[in-house]
Amino acid sequence: MNIEYENLKNLINGQIQSGWNEPVVCRVEVDLSGWLEQLTGRTNWEVLDEQEDDAYVSFALRHGKQEAEVTLYHNGYAVVDVDGQQVFDGTLTTGTSKCAHLSYYNAESGEPITLN
């Protein structure tokens, strides 16, 4: 191997490794009505109330007489109850719901991060 190739390889590896040392913020955007439609088969859910805590955001929704509560935790975990029965309990990702969109940002600069 020539020295120029080794220097370039070391430079690229150093940049890749330094990217993993930066704090990252993950933001999840959810189409609540669409997600509840996906989980229940019912359309046109109405958001009635929103409550925010240090660890989560909770939404109360209604479809006719049916009531739902969606709790989105800041760590990416989510729980959905419909009429007191749990219909979702797990990590919310684009793989678990087509109604979720995840975005990543550098925590210090706020710059968007693209993951490949």
Calculate mean pLDDT across residues 35-55: 93
pLDDT reported for residue 9: 55
Would you say 77 and 93 are in contact if contact means Cβ atoms under 8 Å apart?
A: no
pLDDT reported for residue 23: 82
Asked if the model's pLDDT at residue 68 lies above 80, the reply is: yes
pLDDT reported for residue 18: 53
Q: Which of 9-18, 32-41, 97-106 is predicted least confidently?
A: 9-18
pLDDT reported for residue 13: 58
Q: Where are the domains of the chain?
A: 23-113
Name every residue whose Cβ is closer than 8 Å to that of residue 64 and which is 6 or more positions away in sequence: none
pLDDT reported for residue 25: 77
- Integer Cα distance of 49 and 78 in angstroms: 17
Looking up tokens 């890749």 gives: 16
Q: What percent of the chain lies above the pLDDT cut of 90?
A: 41
Nearest to 116 by CA among 98, 100, 104: 104
* Whole-structure pTM value: 0.70
